Amino acid sequence: MMPEEKKASAPTDRGNMVAAIIFMLGLGTLLPWNFFITASQYFNQRLSTSGEAGNHQLNTSGEPVKEYNYDSWMALLSQLPLLLFTLLNSFFYQWVREGVRVATSLVAILLLFSLTAALVEVDMTPDTFFSVTMATIWFINMFGAVLQGSLFGAVGLLPARYSTLFMTGQGLAGIFAAVAMLCSVLGNTDSYKSAALGYFITPCVATLGTLACYMILPRLEFARFYLRRRSRDNDEEAKMKELLPCADAHVESIKGVKHLDADGKLMGEPGERSSVLFVFKKIWLMALCITCVFAVTLSVFPVVTVRVETVYKEHAKWDQVFTCVCCFVVFNVMDLLGRGAPSLAQSPSQGSYLFPCAVASRVLFIPLLMMCNIPASKLSVSLFRHDVIFVAIMALFAFSNGYLASLCMAYAPRLVGHRDCETAGSLMTFFLVLGLALGAAFSFILGKLM
């Protein structure tokens, strides 16, 4: 018995190698898409038939420039595949091995970004370029949904702190994008194609690094112990059935005893995952919370926050970088700090009624941000005009987003058995994306009202 128990004990994460890889996987998951967003000026210029950025212009023939509404279509065609394929991944992930799903998604994302980078130097008509770009956005988010769902499910098999590290890595991707945006604003470069080429080469390299990290992960003893424990349990169950072919009733009784939850209810057979519905019943509150967190965030960021203006209009340089610094940089830095905070303290606890109350209270940020210095606002007056007040509200807004989202993702796997952690992770990813989609939809309403 002693050798068996010793063998089953968890090894240590030597040199925090697994922690570093999980962090890099989180970074690589969102880094490509964040860099895609920062190149919006490049896309708008490519789609302008007059060769100038902006709408309502005239071309050389005196006819109005066709408006492609790139930003609106980008939001729509990014959220739809994320929502659809995250849902499909939650139900059908058992049909395809995790390694195949992750590797295929990363290779596809790499190829799509390579194509986008190559098209920087290719002359195309605006209609053709728009169609290719929209198709790229759709497919890159389709594969991104499968990638995130698969990695969240795998990370859910590890101890809870690794979920926090994964989301912290995702938060750092936003900082990379914000810094890149700031550099593009300060650079004042006339060659937008050169800037765009640099943007798209960077996520290509990052995606290669993410793929390399994922290939290394199962070779580390600590990760192998947790990621393959389910397979060992399945093998043990198969051996039990071979050794006891005539003792089915006894085996069934063992199954029931081994898989009781905290309430004493049967959780399912060893070696078999519970149904998706069963897992959802266990984690529905965490799923609702993470949906609310991101729905509130996306409803005002960036559609409302980018409309806030500085009171120091006389300082041209500050006026130029105000939105980039006070909106994007502040948000991404504080969001990253919020995602990392649960590794130090986790409060409110998963069983406390204060947790859903804290999530619901974030709705107050919507009117607070709308009452900042937005001169053209038709919906409210500017009560919080000073830049410092806007930065303070943005900091709390972003920190609470990262902190509460990380707690949701860390708490959900604790509510189910080990074999259902991957299902819980996939479901939580779906509801995370559902929150993004709901927030994006509501942002169109707020945008029109503003």
The pLDDT tens digits of the residues spanning 406-450 come to: 999 889 988 888 788 878 887 887 888 789 888 878 887 887 777
Of 119-128, 246-255, 280-289, 423-432, the one with minimum mean pLDDT is: 246-255
**Residue percentage of the chain with pLDDT more than 70:** 77
Six-digit token string for 405: 């989202």
| 367 Cβ contact partners less than 8 Å away, ≥ 6 residues apart | 380
Please determine, for residue 1, whether its predicted confidence score (pLDDT) is greater than 70.
no
- Reported confidence tier of residue 249, pLDDT bands at 50, 70, 90: very low
Please determine, for residue 365, whether its predicted confidence score (pLDDT) is greater than 70.
yes
- Reported confidence tier of residue 271, pLDDT bands at 50, 70, 90: low
**Residue percentage of the chain with pLDDT more than 90:** 22
Sign of CA dihedral 224, 280, 274, 85: negative
Give me the pLDDT at residue 49, please: 52
Average pLDDT score over residue span 93-119 = 86
Give me the pLDDT at residue 231, please: 53
For the stretch 362-368, contacts whose Cβ atoms lie closer than 8 Å and that sit 24 or more positions apart, written own/partner, are: 362/292, 362/293, 362/296, 362/297, 362/397, 362/400, 362/401, 362/404, 363/296, 365/296, 365/300, 365/393, 365/396, 365/397, 365/400, 366/296, 366/299, 366/300, 366/304, 366/446, 368/393, 368/397
**Per-residue pLDDT tens over the stretch 387-405:** 999 999 999 999 999 999 9
Q: In 3D, which of 191, 164, 201 has the Cα closest to residue 336?
A: 164
Rounded distance between C-alpha atoms, residue 388 and residue 372, angstroms: 11
Average pLDDT score over residue span 343-348 = 87
Please determine, for residue 251, whether its predicted confidence score (pLDDT) is greater than 50.
no
Average pLDDT score over residue span 131-152 = 87
Please determine, for residue 235, whether its predicted confidence score (pLDDT) is greater than 60.
no
Give me the pLDDT at residue 53, please: 38
Average pLDDT score over residue span 240-252 = 43
pTM of the model: 0.70
Please determine, for residue 247, whether its predicted confidence score (pLDDT) is greater than 70.
no
Give me the pLDDT at residue 302, please: 79
Rounded distance between C-alpha atoms, residue 356 and residue 358, angstroms: 5
**Per-residue pLDDT tens over the stretch 49-80:** 544 433 344 444 445 556 676 666 777 788 78
- Domains of the chain (ranges; CATH) run 9-227 (1.20.1250.20), 261-450 (1.20.1250)
Please determine, for residue 98, whether its predicted confidence score (pLDDT) is greater than 70.
yes
Average pLDDT score over residue span 91-108 = 81
Six-digit token string for 57: 């212009």
Give me the pLDDT at residue 331, please: 92
Sign of CA dihedral 373, 392, 346, 332: positive
Give me the pLDDT at residue 389, please: 95
For the stretch 369-373, contacts whose Cβ atoms lie closer than 8 Å and that sit 24 or more positions apart, written own/partner, are: 369/300, 369/304, 369/305, 369/308, 369/393, 369/394, 369/397, 370/300, 370/304, 370/446, 370/450, 372/308, 373/308, 373/309, 373/310, 373/311
Average pLDDT score over residue span 299-315 = 85
Average pLDDT value for the chain: 78
Give me the pLDDT at residue 336, please: 85
Average pLDDT score over residue span 339-348 = 87
- The winner for highest mean pLDDT among 48-57, 97-106, 151-160, 287-296 is 287-296
Between 35 and 211, whose confidence is greater? 211
Give me the pLDDT at residue 8, please: 54
Average pLDDT score over residue span 175-204 = 71
DSSP code for 327: I
| Residue showing tokens 């939001």 | 75
